[in-house]
Amino acid sequence: MADEIKSLDELNAAVSGSDLAVANDAPVHEQVRDELGRSYATGKRKDAVARVWIKPGSGKVTVNGKDQSEYFARPVLRLILRQPFQVTNVEGQFDVVATVKGGGLSGQAGAVKHGVSKALQLYDPSLRGALKAAGFLTRDSRVVERKKYGKAKARKSFQFSKR
């Protein structure tokens, strides 16, 4: 009986020790901020790449040195930029500074949205669940299919002529 108690004590010591921590190795997300209190992330969509910095502020969004309404003239593109803030209920609480290169305006708006989502998650890890559930942390990998030889476009063939 004494042997059993001794082995139970050893078992409890092993369970409460570091062995359990190794077995329960779930990823812990930490805040990532620079010395100015900003979080940085890179967003991508099609051929566009956006470098995004967010910091607490009044909700001002600057893209390539211009205001968002000036750079993204279409309301749909500005709506895309607001989505991460609306999903996490932090609209108007962060200033965004982004530089975007490549692609067209639609791809650039998607790249900034992806970058903002990643930066929000780095700034406050508690927002990760809402952003992940909305699908904003996943990079949309769809790109334009390349043109093949012997074809007019990627898949379109030249008009068939019997004679």
Domain-by-domain residue ranges, the chain?
A: 39-134
pTM of the model: 0.79
Strand runs labelled E in 17-93: 39-45, 48-56, 61-63, 66-67
Is a pLDDT exceeding 90 seen at residue 100? yes
CB atoms within 10 A of CB 123: 21
Residues of the chain above pLDDT 70, percent? 84
Which amino acid makes up residue 143? V
What pLDDT, on the 0 to 100 scale, is given for residue 15? 55
Model confidence band, residue 4 (pLDDT cutoffs 50, 70, 90): low
What pLDDT, on the 0 to 100 scale, is given for residue 8? 57
Q: Which residue has tokens 């305006």?
A: 105
Is a pLDDT exceeding 70 seen at residue 14? no
Is a pLDDT exceeding 50 seen at residue 101? yes
- The mean of the pLDDT values for the chain is 88
Token pair of 40, please? Answer: 């940085």
Pairing assessment for the beta strands 48-56 and 94-101 based on DSSP bridges: antiparallel
What pLDDT, on the 0 to 100 scale, is given for residue 20? 46
Model confidence band, residue 163 (pLDDT cutoffs 50, 70, 90): confident
Closest to 114 measured CA to CA, from 50, 163, 30 = 50
CATH code, 39-134: 3.30.230.10
Strand runs labelled E in the chain: 39-45, 48-56, 61-63, 66-67, 94-101
Is a pLDDT exceeding 60 seen at residue 139? yes
What pLDDT, on the 0 to 100 scale, is given for residue 18? 47
